[in-house]
């Protein structure tokens, strides 16, 4: 029988901390239907943030949306959704990263007219999958 891996080798501290943050600070935002709808609308209107222009302040995400986005960004590379540009300013697709260097990204069916639309579709997929992982639905 092989040697048992340690908690450090398994990255257990990070995993346990992430699990605590998810259950305590993220899931309550997503399981509350009114809050989830508010966050989805906010993301749809400003999926990647907007820089300040001509002296105007940048448009930032609310603290609640930022908390959800931070959680989604902590996901492992393997299986992560990314935006694929097929035709600039016209055709964007969702890809799934293999997590293996040199292995191509798998491109999903479906086309989006802009980066923002594709990023929002990815956001919705990630939220739906996160809720399902914890026994909830987007309904």
> What's the whole-number mean pLDDT along residues 126-138?
93
* Phi, psi angle pair for 42, to nearest 5°: -60, -45
Are 122 and 81 in contact by the 8 Å Cβ rule? The answer is yes
Report the percent of the chain where pLDDT is more than 70. Answer: 97
Identify the pLDDT of residue 1.
59
Q: Is residue 122 part of a domain?
A: yes
Are 47 and 72 in contact by the 8 Å Cβ rule? The answer is no
Taking only the tens place, the pLDDT of each residue in 9-35 is: 767 777 888 899 999 999 999 999 999
Identify the pLDDT of residue 39.
97
Number of neighbouring beta carbons within 10 Å of residue 92: 23
Q: Is residue 1 part of a domain?
A: no
* CA–CA distances in Å: residue 91 to residues 49, 98, 109, 124: 21, 22, 12, 19
Q: Is residue 43 part of a domain?
A: yes
Q: Is residue 6 part of a domain?
A: no
In total, how many domains does the chain have? 1
Q: Is residue 78 part of a domain?
A: yes
Q: Is residue 38 part of a domain?
A: yes
Taking only the tens place, the pLDDT of each residue in 62-96 is: 999 999 999 999 888 899 999 999 999 999 999 99
Give the residue numbers spanning the domain of 104: 12-49+58-133
**Of residues 7, 10, 26, 41, the one with CA closest to residue 124:** 41
Q: Is residue 3 part of a domain?
A: no
Q: Is residue 138 part of a domain?
A: no
Three-class secondary structure of residue 59 per DSSP = strand
Mean pLDDT across the chain, nearest whole number? 90
Burial bucket for residue 91 (CB in 10 Å: 0-12, 13-18, 19+): middle
């Amino acid at each position: 029988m092989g040697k048992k891996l340690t908690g450090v080798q398994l990255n257990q501290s990070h995993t346990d901390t992430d699990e605590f943050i998810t259950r305590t600070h993220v899931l309550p935002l997503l399981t509350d239907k009114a809050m989830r709808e508010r966050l989805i609308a906010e993301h749809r209107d400003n999926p990647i943030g907007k820089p300040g222009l001509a002296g105007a302040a940048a448009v930032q995400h609310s603290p609640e949306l930022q908390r959800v986005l931070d959680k989604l960004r902590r996901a492992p590379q393997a299986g992560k959704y990314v935006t694929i540009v097929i035709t600039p300013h016209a055709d964007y697709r969702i890809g799934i990263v293999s997590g293996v260097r040199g292995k191509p990204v798998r491109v999903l069916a479906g086309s989006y007219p802009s980066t923002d639309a594709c990023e929002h579709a990815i956001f919705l997929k990630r939220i739906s999958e996160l809720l399902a992982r914890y026994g909830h639905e987007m309904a």
